[in-house]
Amino acid sequence: MADILHRIGIKAPIQNVYQALTTNAGLAGWWTTDTKGEGDQVGSILEFRFGAGGFDMKVKELVAPTRVVWEVTDGPAEWLPTMISFDLREEGEYIILIFKHMNWQEPVEFMHHCSTKWAIFLMSLKSLLETGEGSPNPVDVKIDNWN
Amino acid sequence: MADILHRIGIKAPIQNVYQALTTNAGLAGWWTTDTKGEGDQVGSILEFRFGAGGFDMKVKELVAPTRVVWEVTDGPAEWLPTMISFDLREEGEYIILIFKHMNWQEPVEFMHHCSTKWAIFLMSLKSLLETGEGSPNPVDVKIDNWN
Protein backbone atom coordinates (compact mmCIF):
# COMPACT_ATOMS: atom_id res chain seq x y z
CA MET A 1 0.00 0.00 0.00
CA ALA A 2 1.20 3.51 -0.78
CA ASP A 3 0.07 7.01 0.13
CA ILE A 4 0.22 10.43 -1.51
CA LEU A 5 1.13 13.06 1.12
CA HIS A 6 1.14 16.86 0.92
CA ARG A 7 1.40 19.89 3.22
CA ILE A 8 0.43 23.48 2.44
CA GLY A 9 -0.04 26.59 4.56
CA ILE A 10 -2.90 28.98 3.86
CA LYS A 11 -3.26 32.55 5.13
CA ALA A 12 -7.02 32.55 5.72
CA PRO A 13 -9.44 31.88 8.60
CA ILE A 14 -9.75 28.16 9.37
CA GLN A 15 -13.54 28.35 8.84
CA ASN A 16 -12.95 29.51 5.27
CA VAL A 17 -10.61 26.60 4.57
CA TYR A 18 -13.10 24.13 6.04
CA GLN A 19 -15.89 25.61 3.91
CA ALA A 20 -13.76 25.27 0.78
CA LEU A 21 -13.60 21.53 1.56
CA THR A 22 -17.26 21.00 2.48
CA THR A 23 -19.39 23.18 0.18
CA ASN A 24 -19.96 22.87 -3.57
CA ALA A 25 -19.09 26.52 -4.10
CA GLY A 26 -15.82 25.95 -2.28
CA LEU A 27 -14.90 22.66 -3.95
CA ALA A 28 -15.85 24.04 -7.38
CA GLY A 29 -13.51 26.95 -6.77
CA TRP A 30 -10.32 24.90 -6.60
CA TRP A 31 -10.84 21.29 -7.75
CA THR A 32 -13.47 21.01 -10.45
CA THR A 33 -16.30 23.32 -11.42
CA ASP A 34 -18.52 20.23 -11.96
CA THR A 35 -19.15 19.28 -8.32
CA LYS A 36 -22.38 17.86 -6.86
CA GLY A 37 -23.40 16.51 -3.45
CA GLU A 38 -23.53 17.62 0.15
CA GLY A 39 -20.00 17.91 1.41
CA ASP A 40 -21.16 18.99 4.85
CA GLN A 41 -23.23 15.80 5.40
CA VAL A 42 -21.60 12.57 6.55
CA GLY A 43 -22.77 9.76 4.25
CA SER A 44 -23.44 12.02 1.26
CA ILE A 45 -21.90 11.06 -2.08
CA LEU A 46 -19.90 13.86 -3.69
CA GLU A 47 -19.67 13.68 -7.49
CA PHE A 48 -16.61 15.32 -9.01
CA ARG A 49 -16.47 15.34 -12.81
CA PHE A 50 -13.55 16.16 -15.12
CA GLY A 51 -14.20 16.03 -18.88
CA ALA A 52 -13.57 12.35 -19.58
CA GLY A 53 -14.46 10.97 -16.16
CA GLY A 54 -14.48 11.66 -12.49
CA PHE A 55 -14.72 10.42 -8.94
CA ASP A 56 -17.48 9.70 -6.46
CA MET A 57 -16.59 10.18 -2.79
CA LYS A 58 -18.59 9.28 0.29
CA VAL A 59 -18.19 11.78 3.10
CA LYS A 60 -16.87 9.52 5.88
CA GLU A 61 -15.96 11.93 8.65
CA LEU A 62 -16.37 15.62 9.44
CA VAL A 63 -14.92 17.43 12.44
CA ALA A 64 -15.58 21.13 11.90
CA PRO A 65 -13.33 23.01 11.31
CA THR A 66 -10.36 20.65 11.47
CA ARG A 67 -10.95 17.37 9.61
CA VAL A 68 -12.59 16.06 6.42
CA VAL A 69 -12.39 12.42 5.27
CA TRP A 70 -13.72 10.99 2.02
CA GLU A 71 -13.90 7.38 0.82
CA VAL A 72 -13.59 6.90 -2.93
CA THR A 73 -16.65 4.88 -4.04
CA ASP A 74 -16.36 5.17 -7.83
CA GLY A 75 -13.71 6.28 -10.30
CA PRO A 76 -10.59 4.85 -11.99
CA ALA A 77 -9.73 1.30 -10.88
CA GLU A 78 -6.48 2.51 -9.31
CA TRP A 79 -8.47 4.75 -6.92
CA LEU A 80 -10.55 1.86 -5.57
CA PRO A 81 -10.46 1.53 -2.68
CA THR A 82 -8.62 4.61 -1.45
CA MET A 83 -9.31 7.26 1.20
CA ILE A 84 -8.63 10.99 1.21
CA SER A 85 -8.18 13.13 4.32
CA PHE A 86 -7.65 16.82 5.01
CA ASP A 87 -6.50 17.87 8.50
CA LEU A 88 -6.34 21.54 9.44
CA ARG A 89 -4.71 23.38 12.32
CA GLU A 90 -3.63 26.91 13.08
CA GLU A 91 0.10 27.66 13.24
CA GLY A 92 1.02 31.32 13.51
CA GLU A 93 -0.50 33.24 10.60
CA TYR A 94 -1.13 30.03 8.62
CA ILE A 95 -3.68 27.26 8.52
CA ILE A 96 -1.60 24.15 7.98
CA LEU A 97 -3.35 21.59 5.77
CA ILE A 98 -2.13 18.01 5.90
CA PHE A 99 -3.41 16.03 2.92
CA LYS A 100 -3.34 12.25 2.49
CA HIS A 101 -4.63 10.09 -0.37
CA MET A 102 -4.19 6.71 1.24
CA ASN A 103 -4.13 3.00 0.50
CA TRP A 104 -3.15 2.79 -3.15
CA GLN A 105 -2.73 -0.92 -3.87
CA GLU A 106 0.41 -0.31 -5.96
CA PRO A 107 2.63 2.72 -6.71
CA VAL A 108 1.54 2.70 -10.37
CA GLU A 109 2.50 5.46 -12.81
CA PHE A 110 -0.98 6.97 -12.47
CA MET A 111 -0.27 7.44 -8.76
CA HIS A 112 2.83 9.50 -9.66
CA HIS A 113 0.62 11.68 -11.89
CA CYS A 114 -2.05 12.07 -9.21
CA SER A 115 0.57 13.01 -6.61
CA THR A 116 1.82 15.92 -8.71
CA LYS A 117 -1.71 16.90 -9.70
CA TRP A 118 -2.91 16.95 -6.07
CA ALA A 119 -0.08 19.39 -5.27
CA ILE A 120 -1.27 21.62 -8.11
CA PHE A 121 -4.88 21.48 -6.91
CA LEU A 122 -3.90 22.18 -3.30
CA MET A 123 -2.01 25.25 -4.52
CA SER A 124 -5.24 26.19 -6.33
CA LEU A 125 -7.06 25.88 -2.99
CA LYS A 126 -4.43 28.11 -1.36
CA SER A 127 -4.82 30.66 -4.13
CA LEU A 128 -8.62 30.58 -3.93
CA LEU A 129 -8.52 31.36 -0.22
CA GLU A 130 -5.73 33.94 -0.31
CA THR A 131 -6.64 35.79 -3.52
CA GLY A 132 -10.25 34.81 -4.27
CA GLU A 133 -9.24 32.95 -7.41
CA GLY A 134 -8.42 29.26 -7.79
CA SER A 135 -7.63 27.21 -10.89
CA PRO A 136 -10.18 24.36 -10.86
CA ASN A 137 -10.74 21.99 -13.78
CA PRO A 138 -11.18 22.89 -16.64
CA VAL A 139 -8.80 25.85 -16.12
CA ASP A 140 -6.39 23.78 -14.01
CA VAL A 141 -2.62 23.85 -14.54
CA LYS A 142 -1.65 21.00 -16.90
CA ILE A 143 1.31 18.87 -15.85
CA ASP A 144 1.70 16.14 -18.49
CA ASN A 145 0.00 14.26 -21.36
CA TRP A 146 -2.59 12.89 -18.91
CA ASN A 147 -3.52 16.49 -18.15
CA MET B 1 9.53 3.07 4.34
CA ALA B 2 7.72 5.62 2.21
CA ASP B 3 8.32 7.25 -1.16
CA ILE B 4 7.49 10.59 -2.76
CA LEU B 5 6.36 10.01 -6.38
CA HIS B 6 5.68 12.49 -9.18
CA ARG B 7 5.11 12.53 -12.95
CA ILE B 8 5.38 15.49 -15.31
CA GLY B 9 5.50 15.86 -19.09
CA ILE B 10 7.85 18.34 -20.73
CA LYS B 11 7.70 19.60 -24.30
CA ALA B 12 11.45 19.77 -24.98
CA PRO B 13 14.17 17.56 -26.47
CA ILE B 14 15.16 14.73 -24.11
CA GLN B 15 18.79 15.89 -24.22
CA ASN B 16 17.74 19.27 -22.83
CA VAL B 17 15.87 17.62 -19.95
CA TYR B 18 18.86 15.40 -19.18
CA GLN B 19 21.19 18.41 -19.20
CA ALA B 20 18.90 20.26 -16.79
CA LEU B 21 19.44 17.34 -14.37
CA THR B 22 23.18 16.92 -14.85
CA THR B 23 24.73 20.39 -15.24
CA ASN B 24 25.05 23.18 -12.70
CA ALA B 25 23.52 25.69 -15.11
CA GLY B 26 20.55 23.39 -15.55
CA LEU B 27 20.08 22.52 -11.87
CA ALA B 28 20.51 26.17 -10.86
CA GLY B 29 17.75 27.08 -13.30
CA TRP B 30 14.99 25.14 -11.58
CA TRP B 31 16.01 23.92 -8.10
CA THR B 32 18.43 26.28 -6.39
CA THR B 33 20.74 28.91 -7.80
CA ASP B 34 23.39 27.81 -5.25
CA THR B 35 24.46 24.52 -6.86
CA LYS B 36 27.99 23.08 -6.95
CA GLY B 37 29.47 19.79 -8.12
CA GLU B 38 29.74 17.70 -11.26
CA GLY B 39 26.29 16.32 -12.02
CA ASP B 40 27.56 14.51 -15.10
CA GLN B 41 30.15 12.48 -13.16
CA VAL B 42 29.19 9.34 -11.25
CA GLY B 43 30.61 9.60 -7.73
CA SER B 44 30.68 13.41 -7.63
CA ILE B 45 29.05 15.15 -4.67
CA LEU B 46 26.50 17.76 -5.65
CA GLU B 47 25.99 20.55 -3.10
CA PHE B 48 22.57 22.21 -3.17
CA ARG B 49 22.13 25.14 -0.77
CA PHE B 50 18.95 26.93 0.29
CA GLY B 51 19.30 29.86 2.70
CA ALA B 52 19.22 28.03 6.04
CA GLY B 53 20.64 24.71 4.87
CA GLY B 54 20.81 22.30 2.03
CA PHE B 55 21.55 18.85 0.74
CA ASP B 56 24.58 16.94 -0.51
CA MET B 57 23.91 14.26 -3.11
CA LYS B 58 26.29 11.66 -4.52
CA VAL B 59 25.69 10.96 -8.20
CA LYS B 60 25.01 7.21 -8.08
CA GLU B 61 23.93 6.37 -11.62
CA LEU B 62 23.78 8.10 -15.00
CA VAL B 63 22.30 6.65 -18.18
CA ALA B 64 22.26 9.46 -20.75
CA PRO B 65 19.71 10.69 -21.64
CA THR B 66 17.19 8.60 -19.67
CA ARG B 67 18.17 8.14 -16.03
CA VAL B 68 19.74 10.06 -13.13
CA VAL B 69 20.06 8.70 -9.58
CA TRP B 70 21.34 10.56 -6.53
CA GLU B 71 22.05 9.31 -3.01
CA VAL B 72 21.52 11.86 -0.24
CA THR B 73 24.77 11.99 1.75
CA ASP B 74 24.13 15.04 3.94
CA GLY B 75 21.13 17.17 4.88
CA PRO B 76 18.19 17.07 7.28
CA ALA B 77 18.04 13.89 9.39
CA GLU B 78 14.76 12.87 7.73
CA TRP B 79 16.51 12.75 4.34
CA LEU B 80 19.16 10.28 5.56
CA PRO B 81 19.35 7.83 3.99
CA THR B 82 17.13 8.46 0.99
CA MET B 83 17.57 8.15 -2.78
CA ILE B 84 16.29 10.30 -5.62
CA SER B 85 15.74 9.16 -9.19
CA PHE B 86 14.64 10.80 -12.43
CA ASP B 87 13.62 8.55 -15.35
CA LEU B 88 12.92 10.05 -18.76
CA ARG B 89 11.23 8.67 -21.87
CA GLU B 90 9.65 10.08 -24.99
CA GLU B 91 5.88 9.78 -25.36
CA GLY B 92 4.38 11.66 -28.30
CA GLU B 93 5.30 15.33 -28.03
CA TYR B 94 6.31 15.01 -24.37
CA ILE B 95 9.28 13.83 -22.39
CA ILE B 96 7.71 11.98 -19.47
CA LEU B 97 9.69 12.41 -16.25
CA ILE B 98 9.09 9.90 -13.47
CA PHE B 99 10.44 11.20 -10.16
CA LYS B 100 10.98 9.21 -6.97
CA HIS B 101 12.38 10.32 -3.60
CA MET B 102 12.65 6.93 -1.96
CA ASN B 103 13.16 5.23 1.36
CA TRP B 104 11.94 7.75 3.91
CA GLN B 105 12.07 5.96 7.25
CA GLU B 106 8.72 7.40 8.35
CA PRO B 107 5.98 9.47 6.66
CA VAL B 108 6.75 12.46 8.88
CA GLU B 109 5.15 15.87 8.40
CA PHE B 110 8.34 17.13 6.74
CA MET B 111 7.86 14.43 4.08
CA HIS B 112 4.41 15.87 3.31
CA HIS B 113 6.02 19.30 2.85
CA CYS B 114 8.80 17.93 0.65
CA SER B 115 6.28 16.04 -1.51
CA THR B 116 4.40 19.24 -2.33
CA LYS B 117 7.62 21.20 -2.75
CA TRP B 118 9.07 18.63 -5.18
CA ALA B 119 5.95 19.02 -7.34
CA ILE B 120 6.53 22.78 -7.36
CA PHE B 121 10.20 22.39 -8.30
CA LEU B 122 9.40 19.86 -11.04
CA MET B 123 6.93 22.37 -12.49
CA SER B 124 9.80 24.89 -12.32
CA LEU B 125 11.92 22.42 -14.34
CA LYS B 126 9.09 22.08 -16.88
CA SER B 127 8.82 25.85 -17.14
CA LEU B 128 12.59 26.29 -17.52
CA LEU B 129 12.66 23.89 -20.45
CA GLU B 130 9.48 25.07 -22.15
CA THR B 131 9.80 28.83 -21.62
CA GLY B 132 13.45 29.42 -20.69
CA GLU B 133 12.51 30.54 -17.17
CA GLY B 134 12.28 28.42 -14.04
CA SER B 135 11.62 29.43 -10.42
CA PRO B 136 14.61 28.10 -8.46
CA ASN B 137 15.33 28.98 -4.84
CA PRO B 138 15.37 31.83 -3.76
CA VAL B 139 12.57 32.83 -6.17
CA ASP B 140 10.71 29.53 -5.73
CA VAL B 141 6.96 29.36 -5.15
CA LYS B 142 6.30 29.26 -1.39
CA ILE B 143 3.83 26.64 -0.15
CA ASP B 144 3.69 26.94 3.65
CA ASN B 145 5.46 28.28 6.76
CA TRP B 146 8.43 26.00 6.09
CA ASN B 147 8.80 27.77 2.73
Model ipTM value: 0.97
Rounded to whole angstroms, the Cα distance separating A27 from A91 reads 23
Rounded to whole angstroms, the Cα distance separating A137 from A134 reads 10
Whether residue A52 is predicted with pLDDT greater than 80 in this model: the reply is no
Please name the member of B7, B115, B122 whose beta carbon is closest to the beta carbon of A109. Answer: B7
pLDDT at A131: 98
Mean pLDDT of chain A: 97
Whether residue A145 is predicted with pLDDT greater than 80 in this model: the reply is yes
| B123/A143 touch (CB, cutoff 8 Å), yes or no | yes
Please name the member of B2, B3, B116 whose beta carbon is closest to the beta carbon of A6. Answer: B116
Interface membership of B45 toward A (CB under 8 Å): no
Which residues of chain A make contact with B96, given a CB cutoff of 8 A? 144-145
| B141/A126 touch (CB, cutoff 8 Å), yes or no | no
CATH class of this structure's domain B2-131: alpha beta
Whether residue B101 is predicted with pLDDT greater than 80 in this model: the reply is yes
| A143/B120 touch (CB, cutoff 8 Å), yes or no | no
pLDDT at B55: 96
Whether the Cβ atoms of residue A14 and residue A65 lie closer than 8 Å to each other? yes
Question: pTM of the full predicted structure?
Answer: 0.97
pLDDT at A51: 85
| A144/B6 touch (CB, cutoff 8 Å), yes or no | no
Residue to test with chain A: of B89, B143, B146, B147, most A Cβ within 10 A? B143
Mean pLDDT throughout A82-106? 98
Whether the Cβ atoms of residue A136 and residue A30 lie closer than 8 Å to each other? yes
pLDDT at B60: 98
| A9/B107 touch (CB, cutoff 8 Å), yes or no | no
Helix, strand, coil tally for chain A in percent (to 5): 25, 40, 35
Which secondary structure element, helix H or strand E, spans residue B124, and what is its range? Answer: helix B109-131
Mean pLDDT of chain B: 97
Whether the Cβ atoms of residue A6 and residue A122 lie closer than 8 Å to each other? yes
Phi and psi angles of residue A5, each rounded to the nearest 5 degrees, phi first: -125, 140
Interface membership of B12 toward A (CB under 8 Å): no
Q: Is B126 exposed, middle or buried (0-12, 13-18, 19+ CB in 10 A)?
A: buried
Whether residue A81 is predicted with pLDDT greater than 80 in this model: the reply is yes
Whether residue B51 is predicted with pLDDT greater than 90 in this model: the reply is no
Whether residue A114 is predicted with pLDDT greater than 90 in this model: the reply is yes
Whether residue A98 is predicted with pLDDT greater than 90 in this model: the reply is yes
Mean pLDDT throughout B68-74? 98
Rounded to whole angstroms, the Cα distance separating A31 from A48 reads 8
**Closest CA in chain B for residue A127:** B143
- For residue B146, the Cα-to-chain-centroid distance in whole angstroms is 18
Whether residue B37 is predicted with pLDDT greater than 80 in this model: the reply is yes
| B144/A98 touch (CB, cutoff 8 Å), yes or no | no
pLDDT at A147: 92
Please name the member of B3, B112, B141 whose beta carbon is closest to the beta carbon of A98. Answer: B112
The lowest-confidence range among A47-56, A110-119, B9-18 is: A47-56
Return residues 89-128 of A near B (CB < 8 Å): 91-94, 96, 98-99, 107, 109, 111-113, 115-116, 119-120, 122-123, 126
pLDDT band at B52 (very low <50, low <70, confident <90, very high): confident
- Counting residues of chain A whose pLDDT is more than 90, the rounded percentage is 97
> Where exactly are the structural domains of chain B?
2-131
